[in-house]
């Protein structure tokens, strides 16, 4: 053990990995004698899977017998054959450099390798621009050259030399600890000099990164935007798309919840970095001869790894556009650094691959921003199947869910903090953008809702501050009521189901006007309209509902429970399975006893507080066939199956005939939209029970007897087949359902 420790201290990465394999208890007991002769045996089987494992066994040697002191244990994983000479030489240099934290010389050596490879080889990571135009530069930058820091106005000091028109940017959490800002009162002083001692730890270390990577300029929001000037903030916010897209590299202080944390973190870099071993492996699968091969190995090391909590930075709403708009990111992520660009990703442990926190849907949008083709167009678009454009729209819906579940200090930023992504995509498509929605299948974008339970797992848990968000609507309207930006709380889309729906409405025209931060708009539609009343069950995110209707407001789910069963007229049900509806006006404003109320299969999700005696208009947006088989969770979608219909709940504005605003979302299940009840009364996952101690099943037959559900019309046949993309035929409705085909305007 003494020799092993000595070799580890001399920076042998393999000896360091072996030394880190036993746990502290084993070192203190089984391996406590540094002078005891030990046998340390390494073995590897290259035939075991794509990533063979290097293992070690510690033997005690006594009387020529070997007794396992610590049984065979994994030391490292074989990543690949190392055939990249540049990476091999980079790792060799890294092994000789100081590497005790993520701001070490070894870290910057690897970061320089990533940056050089991307700039020289990755065409898709480059901004496409007119050759006759100079690259974009932000209005202001921090000049960190000559061991000084000062704010500069780029139009005055940066000319046409392309080598000067490059800069980095910083992505960080502001946090609760005050940070230095550029204000009107210190603006002139910042143009002369900024005292490094006044910078937050994160800012100082970001400046250090800039200098180590041999750049002169860095953009930091709190210093490059005059924070107490509304006009300057509005002007600069409108350029965020260009600021992030044109930065050569973004530095992300991912693990830092505030400026006093910094970018860098101490750790044993020799365990984080991969190392190279020369092993004698077969030259080919069938060859019996061997030859030395350079194998890249990653130490298992006893350090933070997969399963660690998401960094605070990824829980901030403003940061989403920084992630998607930046062509390259150097991410300081706790114990290690990561690299992400449009073409690939890596980290210290796996420099050219491994796991990435943000690929998949986000990667698709990011690639679309830097692509030369229309974002919504795909060459493999096949008629009769889900279109490529709908898949792209699904990715946008996922991005909206991610975005709205993140934390935002000012609810008034809800629309503008995503505008940079919208700007970038508008450059890559002929589709129109309307206050958070796209003209591509616009009806799909309308089907957002406020969930009764946690239906979406956010990037960083509990990043949206529900307790602080007291009102579901903005103090001043920021967006049309049909846009998800019109509410302050997280929203969800029914993904991926939404891309398989058929629309049953016609969008005649759409118009939006205003600034990136505040917009108004009107949506003209033709569709089928029903009216009625709903005794709403409120999502927990609508904070003000608890005071108005405490017994009809869902509780916030906990880590151990995610169920909100509600009681109504002696019956227990879940708001995802039924909602309480009446075609006629209840006898009292908040009466629970009116015989007009009945249970309807489906769900109603309000956008705001709605009194039960308020008449709502519902417009059908989309539908699909859907059958729930008894005793099975698997659904079928055959043409004979009952119909699910998705609709918007509307209220007249009172300003003009036929003008409405959105106040909710409703899904009508098992043909209830058409006035029938065609599905099975019971199925797995949907129950109606007696409230109280006795939990017996309350059958749909009982509901029919009590008049709480409409029986199937016995006088005729209810037809389930329909023409995709067309308004349903009026004869599909039950004779007692009052429905109109109308043209309306939603604002």
Token reading at 315: 């829980």
Last residue of a domain, which of 302, 323, 348? 302
The pTM for the full model equals 0.88
| 88 contacts 82 by C-beta, under 8 angstroms | yes
pLDDT at 690 over 80: no
Kindly state whether residue 248 falls inside one of the protein's structural domains: yes
Rank 376-390, 391-405, 558-572 by mean pLDDT and report only the highest.
391-405
| 620 contacts 674 by C-beta, under 8 angstroms | no
Kindly state whether residue 363 falls inside one of the protein's structural domains: no
Kindly state whether residue 194 falls inside one of the protein's structural domains: yes
Q: Compare 571 and 609 and report the one with higher pLDDT.
A: 609
Rounded CA gap, 320 and 576, in Å? 30
- Annotate 235-291 with DSSP letters as a single string: HHHTTHHHHHHH-SEEEEETT-SSTTT-S--B--HHHHS-EEEEEEEESSSS---EE
**What number is the average pLDDT over the span 64-77?**
85
**What number is the average pLDDT over the span 721-747?**
93
Rounded CA gap, 738 and 584, in Å? 11
Tally DSSP H helices, then E strands, for the chain: 19, 31
Tell me: do 175 and 35 sit in the same domain. Answer: no
pLDDT at 192 over 90: yes
| 559 contacts 604 by C-beta, under 8 angstroms | no
Kindly state whether residue 366 falls inside one of the protein's structural domains: no
pLDDT at 714 over 50: no
Tell me: do 625 and 668 sit in the same domain. Answer: yes
Question: Which of 347, 197, 144, 172 minimizes the C-alpha distance to 261?
Answer: 172
Strand pairing category for 168-171 and 249-253: parallel
Rounded CA gap, 297 and 349, in Å? 9
Give me the pLDDT at residue 711, please. 38
Tell me: do 75 and 121 sit in the same domain. Answer: no
Which residue in the block uniquely carries the two structure tokens 């998607």? Answer: 324
Tell me: do 503 and 547 sit in the same domain. Answer: yes
Tell me: do 325 and 425 sit in the same domain. Answer: no
How many residues in the chain?
A: 747
Tell me: do 67 and 138 sit in the same domain. Answer: no
pLDDT at 87 over 60: yes
Q: How far apart are the first and last CA of the chain?
A: 75
What are the pLDDT digits (tens) for 614-649? 999 999 999 999 987 766 677 889 888 999 999 999
Tell me: do 328 and 461 sit in the same domain. Answer: no
Kindly state whether residue 428 falls inside one of the protein's structural domains: yes
Task: Residue 700: give the domain boundaries.
Answer: 388-746
| 454 contacts 463 by C-beta, under 8 angstroms | no
Rounded CA gap, 92 and 278, in Å? 13
Q: How many domains does the chain have?
A: 3
pLDDT at 708 over 70: no
**What number is the average pLDDT over the span 561-569?**
76
Kindly state whether residue 92 falls inside one of the protein's structural domains: no
pLDDT at 573 over 50: yes
Write out 618-666 in H/E/C secondary structure: EEEEEEEECEECCCCCCEECCCCCCEEEEEEEEEECCCCCCEEEEEEEE
Kindly state whether residue 682 falls inside one of the protein's structural domains: yes
Q: Compare 534 and 83 and report the one with higher pLDDT.
A: 534
- Annotate 107-148 with DSSP letters as a single string: HHHHHHHHHHHHHHH-GGGSPP--TTSPPP--SEEEE--TT-
Q: Which helix (H) or strand (E) holds 510?
A: strand 506-514
> Angle, to 10 degrees, between the axis of helix 388-404 and the axis of helix 361-369?
110
Q: Let me know the angle formed at the C-alpha of 149 by 147 and 154, rounded to the nearest 5 degrees.
A: 120
Tell me: do 337 and 412 sit in the same domain. Answer: no
User: In this structure, is the dihedral angle defined by the CA atoms of residues 63, 69, 72 and 74, taken in order, positive or negative?
Assistant: negative
**Which region among 78-92, 405-419, 461-475 has the lowest average model confidence (pLDDT)?**
78-92
Tell me: do 695 and 621 sit in the same domain. Answer: yes
Question: Which of 460, 482, 435, 538 minimizes the C-alpha distance to 660?
Answer: 482
pLDDT at 266 over 70: yes
Q: Let me know the angle formed at the C-alpha of 476 by 518 and 603, rounded to the nearest 5 degrees.
A: 95
**What number is the average pLDDT over the span 276-293?**
66
pLDDT at 293 over 70: yes
Measured CA distances, 667 to 155, 167, 404, 421, 718 (Å): 55, 50, 22, 30, 19
Token reading at 426: 């508008």
Kindly state whether residue 376 falls inside one of the protein's structural domains: no
Question: Taking the CA of residue 603 as centre, how many other CA atoms within 13 Å lie in the half-sphere pointing to its CB?
Answer: 16
Give me the pLDDT at residue 259, please. 94
- Annotate 242-254 with DSSP letters as a single string: HHHHH-SEEEEET
Q: Report the chain's C-alpha Rg in angstroms.
A: 31
DSSP annotation of 471 reads: -
pLDDT at 707 over 50: no
Tell me: do 467 and 536 sit in the same domain. Answer: yes
Other Cβ atoms within 10 Å of 408 Cβ, number: 19
Tell me: do 423 and 279 sit in the same domain. Answer: no
Question: Which of 490, 482, 487 minimizes the C-alpha distance to 412?
Answer: 487
Rounded CA gap, 271 and 273, in Å? 6
Rounded CA gap, 41 and 62, in Å? 16
Q: Compare 402 and 701 and report the one with higher pLDDT.
A: 402
pLDDT at 335 over 60: yes
Tell me: do 294 and 320 sit in the same domain. Answer: no
Strand pairing category for 150-153 and 65-81: unpaired
């Amino acid at each position: 053990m003494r020799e092993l420790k000595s070799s580890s201290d001399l920076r042998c990465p393999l000896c360091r990995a072996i030394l880190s394999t036993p746990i502290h208890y084993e070192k203190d007991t089984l391996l406590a004698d540094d002078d005891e002769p030990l046998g340390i045996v390494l073995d590897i089987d290259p035939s075991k899977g794509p990533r063979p494992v290097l293992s070690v066994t510690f033997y005690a040697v006594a009387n020529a017998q070997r007794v396992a002191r610590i049984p065979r244990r994994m030391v490292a994983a074989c990543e690949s054959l190392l055939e990249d000479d540049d990476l091999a030489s980079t790792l060799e240099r890294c092994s000789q450099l100081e590497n005790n934290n993520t701001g070490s010389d070894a870290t910057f050596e690897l970061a320089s390798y990533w940056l050089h490879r991307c700039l020289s080889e990755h065409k898709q990571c480059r901004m496409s621009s007119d050759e006759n135009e100079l690259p974009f530069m932000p209005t202001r930058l921090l000049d960190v050259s000559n061991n000084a820091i000062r704010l500069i106005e780029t139009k005055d000091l940066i000319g046409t030399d392309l080598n000067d028109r490059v800069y980095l940017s910083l992505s960080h959490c502001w946090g609760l600890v005050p940070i230095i800002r550029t204000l009107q009162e210190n603006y002139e002083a910042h143009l002369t000099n900024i005292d490094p001692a006044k910078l937050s730890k994160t800012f100082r270390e970001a400046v250090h990164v800039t200098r180590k990577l041999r750049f002169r300029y860095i953009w930091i929001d709190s210093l490059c935007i005059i924070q107490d000037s509304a006009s300057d903030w509005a002007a600069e916010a409108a350029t965020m798309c260009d600021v992030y897209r044109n930065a050569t590299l973004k530095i992300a202080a991912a693990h830092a919840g505030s400026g006093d944390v910094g970018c860098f973190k101490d750790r044993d870099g020799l365990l984080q970095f991969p190392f190279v071993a020369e092993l004698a492996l077969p030259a080919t699968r069938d060859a019996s001869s061997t030859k030395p091969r350079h194998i890249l190995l990653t130490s298992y090391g006893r350090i933070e790894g997969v399963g660690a909590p998401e960094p605070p930075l990824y829980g901030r709403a403003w940061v989403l556009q920084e992630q998607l708009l930046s062509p390259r990111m150097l991410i300081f992520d706790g114990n290690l650094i990561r690299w992400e660009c449009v073409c690939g990703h890596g980290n210290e442990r796996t420099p050219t691959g491994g796991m990435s926190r943000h690929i998949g849907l986000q990667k698709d949008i990011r690639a679309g921003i830097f692509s030369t083709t229309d974002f919504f167009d795909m060459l493999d678009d096949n008629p009769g199947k889900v279109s490529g454009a709908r898949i792209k729209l699904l990715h946008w819906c996922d991005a909206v869910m991610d975005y709205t579940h993140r934390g935002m200090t000012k609810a008034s930023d809800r629309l503008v903090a995503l505008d940079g992504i919208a700007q970038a995509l508008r450059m890559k498509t002929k589709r129109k953008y309307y206050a958070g929605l796209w003209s591509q299948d616009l009806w799909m974008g309308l089907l957002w809702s406020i969930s009764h339970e946690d239906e979406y797992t956010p990037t960083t848990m509990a990043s949206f501050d529900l307790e602080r968000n007291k009102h579901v609507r903005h103090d001043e309207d920021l967006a049309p009521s049909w846009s998800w930006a019109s509410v302050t709380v997280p929203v969800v889309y029914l993904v991926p189901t939404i891309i398989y729906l058929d629309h049953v409405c016609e969008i005649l025209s759409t118009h939006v006007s205003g600034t990136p931060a505040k917009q108004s708009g009107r949506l003209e539609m033709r569709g089928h309209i029903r009216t009625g009343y709903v005794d709403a069950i409120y999502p927990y995110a609508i904070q003000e509902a608890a005071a108005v209707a405490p017994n009809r407001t869902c509780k916030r789910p906990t880590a151990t429970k995610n169920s909100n069963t509600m009681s109504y007229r002696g019956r227990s049900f879940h708001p995802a399975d039924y909602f309480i509806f009446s075609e006629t006006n209840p006898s009292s404003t908040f009466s629970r006893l009116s015989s007009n109320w009945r249970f309807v299969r489906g769900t109603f999700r309000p956008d705001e507080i709605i009194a039960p005696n308020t008449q709502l208009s519902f417009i059908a947006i989309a539908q699909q066939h859907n059958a729930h088989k008894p005793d099975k969770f698997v659904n079928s979608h055959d043409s004979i199956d009952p119909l699910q219909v998705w609709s918007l709940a509307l209220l007249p504005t009172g300003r003009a005939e036929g003008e409405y605003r959105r106040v909710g979302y409703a899904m009508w299940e098992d043909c209830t939209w058409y006035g029938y009840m065609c599905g099975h009364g019971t199925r797995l996952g949907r129950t109606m029970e007696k409230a109280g101690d006795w939990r017996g099943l309350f059958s749909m037959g009982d509901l029919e007897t009590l008049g709480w559900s409409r029986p199937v019309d016995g006088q005729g046949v209810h037809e389930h087949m329909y023409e995709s993309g067309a308004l349903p035929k009026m004869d599909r409705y039950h004779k007692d359902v009052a429905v109109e085909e109308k043209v309306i305007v939603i604002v």
